[in-house]
Amino acid sequence: MTDLDGIQITTLAERPELAARIYEISDTWPVFAGEDLMASALHLRVPGEFPEYCVVATDGDRVVARGFAVPFNAVLKGREEMPAQGWDVVLVWAFNDRRRGNVPTVASALEITIDVDYLGRGLSHHMVAALRQAAGRQGHDVLLAPVRPTAKHRQPHLPMSEYVRQRRDDGLPTDPWLRVHVRAGGTIEKIAPASMTVTGSLAQWREWTGLPFDRDGDIEIPGGLVPVRCALAHDYAVYVEPNVWVRHRTRPTADAGR
């Protein structure tokens, strides 16, 4: 348990009664992000299936942040620790491994969401640490993270490989969320070019974004890290989001594996 100025961070395994309340948070996720098919099919099941890898922060009776991670086997044929399909495929591998009884070799974070009223208080750093510690207690030496840079939407046409090279005068990443991870000891390893894919009809994209989607080609959308590719004749548009793989070392405690 972590206590930060009255805010407590625990795993969901320690406080299972909070599982039904972790979505009470007021967040800033764009609507289209929830339309990823992997999110629709599997993401909501993560807290119930992997509570020992998930953390929740509370301020009194209020849930103010959540963090999800999952374990998976990265050494099976056709797999690797940091796949190009990032967030989507890690989620699939975790559930496949659970069903097939494959022994996990690594853990990957999936999300950290902070209530908008608690942004800017340093809570994100403590949530990263809590996820890292949770993975360490399960015997993992490493916690990976397909990070979604929070300011990339301001430069949607810039390739992610160039974006991650942007630095402040102190040498830290200009992106605030990447900076949190680096300050927490994480190392930026590589790009996941197709970490999340959202497809839909033009009518669906109009509903999700409020934009007309009335021309072919790349269309910038609010909150999009890259443009959406629109095909009028075929009545669909596709968003393929790149993320950034970050590697964190964990510090397993004496009760690792319990």
Question: Residue 49 domain-assigned?
Answer: yes
Residue type for position 231? A
Q: Considering the domain boundaries, does residue 202 fall inside one?
A: no
Predicted pLDDT of residue 252: 40
Q: Give which of 113, 74, 112, 67 is closest to 90, Cα–Cα.
A: 74
Kindly state whether residue 232 falls inside one of the protein's structural domains. Answer: no
Q: pLDDT tens digits for 43-84?
A: 999 999 999 999 999 999 999 999 999 999 999 999 999 999
Would you say residue 111 lies in a domain?
Answer: yes
In sequence order, what are the residues at sequence separation of 6 or more whose Cβ sits closer than 8 angstroms to the Cβ of residue 234?
none
Query: Can you tell me the distance from the alpha carbon of 87 to that of 148, in angstroms, rounded to the nearest whole number?
Result: 10
Side-chain half-sphere exposure of 14, counting CA atoms within 13 A = 16
Domain count, the chain: 1
Q: How confident is the model at residue 254 (pLDDT cuts 50, 70, 90)?
A: very low
- Judge contact between 7 and 58, C-beta under 8 A: yes
Q: Is the pLDDT of residue 228 over 90?
A: yes
Residue 179 structure tokens: 């900076």
Range of the domain at 61: 2-193+244-249
Task: With respect to residue 217, please indicate whether it lies within any of the assigned structural domains.
Answer: no
**Residue 215 falls within a domain, yes or no?**
no
The domain that holds 31 is classified in CATH as 3.40.630.30
Assigned domain for 162 exists? yes
Radius of gyration, alpha carbons of the chain:
18
